[in-house]
Amino acid sequence: MTAPRAPRSEDSKTRNALLDATLQLMVEEGYAAVSTRKVAAKAGANPALVYYYFRTMDELFLAVFRRGAEANLKRMRGALVAEHPLRAVWEVSSEPTHAALTMEFIALANHRETIRAELATYSTRFRQMQEEVLVRALDTHGIDDDRFTPSALVVLIGGLSRSLAVDRMLGLTAGHDEVRSLIDECLRHFEVPVEQKNSTRATLTGEEAPD
Amino acid sequence: MTAPRAPRSEDSKTRNALLDATLQLMVEEGYAAVSTRKVAAKAGANPALVYYYFRTMDELFLAVFRRGAEANLKRMRGALVAEHPLRAVWEVSSEPTHAALTMEFIALANHRETIRAELATYSTRFRQMQEEVLVRALDTHGIDDDRFTPSALVVLIGGLSRSLAVDRMLGLTAGHDEVRSLIDECLRHFEVPVEQKNSTRATLTGEEAPD
DNA sequence: GTCTATAGCTGGATAGAC
DNA sequence: GTCTATCCAGCTATAGAC
């Protein structure tokens, strides 16, 4: 019930500059620092143009989010065919700007319903792709652990990459080396060619599953 | 370089009402919804009183944070002597309002240096206490896994509890049951009396460590 | 498409009476 | 300690000239 207006060209130079400026402001100073004037100033454009291209600030945020989301989904599609898919998934999730931006949008989502909804549908798609990668990777390597199911791993990967990013931002690094090498060890399991593995019932942690 | 002023009584009824109102606003609508007038209205107080008790909005946020932080540290101290310390640690970290509030302060910290610093020092203390609990728990149960060190576990626990809370807020639940039972399984290891365990070199996942 | 100008509001913060 | 009154900055959004 909101949009009786002619859509603006999506590949306008100004429009993109405004999106870039918004993105940069969000990462550097947080979403609360985003305002018509600041965005326009950073983009070298006139403040009124924000409302020409995006009807409201909410739509500006949504446009920034969608652009980033599409880029991430594209990267995730790349992970599907990468040499080491699981490592690729981890790296996409761990990208610093991705993590920082996700945090900002999560905070925004807490009190803007439109953004909450968009974030939820995007996350679902993002995770579905990850799950695809995982199902294939686990299958290829003959790993079948009732506890570390694909959907559980998706939650673990996303949660861990995000919290490592938050810690870094706060300047907390205790335990990070251990966690990183833990993850690295885990990922390395999937870089071993299948022929070299002998088990029919291996587990993610590299030990025989208990009965 | 900021505080030449007489401190206000810490157990004033009005002061506490203002803190409660701020807390509630943050949880319900996000930190951006916190303003002098809204806080005062919710607390049933005069807007000017906000500046009487707290010189700036930043100090108001800090006071809310410190009050919550102290409460959490106290709960964590309780975990130190609980029957099942590890489970207690997990439960303190998973408390819904704790997680929601932490998210808000993380977002705030992104662009307010005073809050970033406070959050960092609090987190350090909080994690140190968790690590104490873990060192003792792992020792008592004779668990010695090079990969799952206490400080790594602290990072894992905090990260996971936070991301589960975020997911819930977004309405994402896929994989949560699996993750929760994974954690539950892990915690149950620490509820087994030590005598019933046979290994001298057990691991967190319940299997023999690889060589 | 881009600009100026401005309406209309809400915000943080202070001065000073009571 | 509590209140009124107020200053001024910043914000979203729109109208309308170019």
The reply to whether A175 touches chain B by the CB within 8 Å rule is: yes
Among chain A residues, the shortest Cα distance to B115 is held by A170
Take residue A177 and report the two structure tokens written for it: 């080396």
User: Where does the pLDDT of residue A165 fall: very low under 50, low under 70, confident under 90, or very high at 90 and above?
Assistant: very high
What distance in Å separates the CA atoms of residue A60 and residue A57, rounded to the nearest whole number?
Answer: 5
Q: Categorize the per-residue pLDDT at B97 as very low, low, confident or very high, splitting at 50, 70 and 90.
A: confident
Cβ pair B49, B20 in contact under 8 A: no
pLDDT for B3 equals: 47
The pLDDT of residue A10: 86
Enumerate residues 48 to 87 of chain B having a beta carbon within 8 A of any beta carbon in chain A. none
Judge whether residue B46 has pLDDT over 60. Answer: yes
pLDDT tens digits along A102-111: 888 998 888 7
- CA atoms lying within 13 Å on the CB side of residue A191: 9
Cβ atoms of A65 and A115 within 8 Å: the answer is yes
pTM of the model: 0.91
- Distance in angstroms (rounded) separating the CA atoms of residues B119 and B142: 34
Please tell me which residue of chain A has the smallest CA distance to B110: A30
- Residues B42-51 have a mean pLDDT of 98
